Each structure stands twice: as C-alpha cells, then as structure tokens.
Amino acid sequence: MYAFKTLLGLALAVPTLTNPLLRVRSLFPLTSLLTTSNIHQRQCAETCGSTCYTQSDIDAAVQQGYSDYQSGQTAGSSSYPHQYNDREGFAFPDSGPYYEFPILGSEQVYTGGSPGADRVIFTGDGTYEGVITHQGAAGNDFLQCTAG
C-alpha cells in the first residue's frame, strides 16, 4: 500500500513539475490571462481630437473649476476659471453665463501652467454643460468634443 501511494504521488507530481505547460498553468492560470476582467479599461465619455476623457475626469475638472469659481480663485497664476462667451454658438443644455476650466489628458486636475487645448464648460451653479477643444479649430476658436 505504501509503495502504491508513493508511486501514485510520483505519477501525479512528476508531470506537473516537469511539464512546463502544466507548471506555467498552475502558477498563472491561463483563464485569468484570457479574461478581460482584470484589465482596467478607460471608458471615454468625451473625446477631444484623440484625447479620451472619462466621466470621472470630467467631473473632477468641473468640481475643481466650480470650486475656484465660487471662492473667486484662479488656478496658479492662470486666468482659469473664466467666463466663456460661446462666440461659436454651441447649443449647451442650459442657458449661460458659462465658465470654462482646463481639462488635461494626464488624468491630473489642472492647477496652473499650460492649460492645453481642452476645456470643461459649466454654469454659475456648477452644472456641467460640455467639453470643448481648441484642437483642430482655427485660431482661438473652439470645436465641441465628441461624445464617447
């Protein structure tokens, strides 16, 4: 009986330890490599040029911009947030006046310095209205970013 158990143990253990495929599978189950559940994908709510913004990127920019607007502060030595006059005539969900604040593609909230090309728009009560960009527009004009 002892000999049988030893043989059975060896029969099971040896292929697992010596067969590279079985060894790799036991360390890194293949199924976890094939499923996407572990892969963090950013879901774009708005895309400006080729820059993707998630809703949480947008919410963070609006929150910072509106907080500065309410306290009468600007980010660093910049002029943001400041009023956006909608010279382009974009149709936002609510009426103005509107305010703009930079949104950065780096997943960092804007605190001053170069504002890049992209802006969130919000109203005087902090309602988010949209994302616009200088990317692809003439001069200082804006284009609306694309949903998704």
Q: Which of 115, 121, 128, 129: binder of ligand 2AM (CB under 6 A)?
A: 115
DSSP 112: S
Q: CA 111, 114, 119, 122: dihedral to nearest 10 degrees?
A: 40
- Residue 134 is among the residues annotated as catalytic for this protein: yes
Under the binding rule (CB under 6 A), the answer on residue 117 touching ligand 2AM is yes
Under the binding rule (CB under 6 A), the answer on residue 118 touching ligand 2AM is no
Please tell me whether residue 116 adopts helix, strand or coil conformation: coil
Q: Which of residues 71-110 bind ligand 2AM (CB under 6 A)?
A: 100
Which residue from 147, 116, 148 is spatially nearest to 133, judged by alpha carbons? 116
Q: How far is the CB of 100 from ligand 2AM (least distance, A)?
A: 6
Nearest CB to ligand 2AM, comparing residues 50 and 140: 140
Please tell me whether residue 83 adopts helix, strand or coil conformation: strand
Q: Strand pairing partners for 51?
A: 48
- Residue 82 is among the residues annotated as catalytic for this protein: yes
Which residue from 94, 100, 99 is spatially nearest to 117, judged by alpha carbons? 100
Q: How far is the CB of 102 from ligand 2AM (least distance, A)?
A: 8
Under the binding rule (CB under 6 A), the answer on residue 134 touching ligand 2AM is yes
Under the binding rule (CB under 6 A), the answer on residue 140 touching ligand 2AM is yes
The residue length of the chain stands at 148
Active site positions, annotated: 82, 100, 134
The residue ranges that bind ligand 2AM (CB under 6 A) are 100, 115, 117, 134, 140
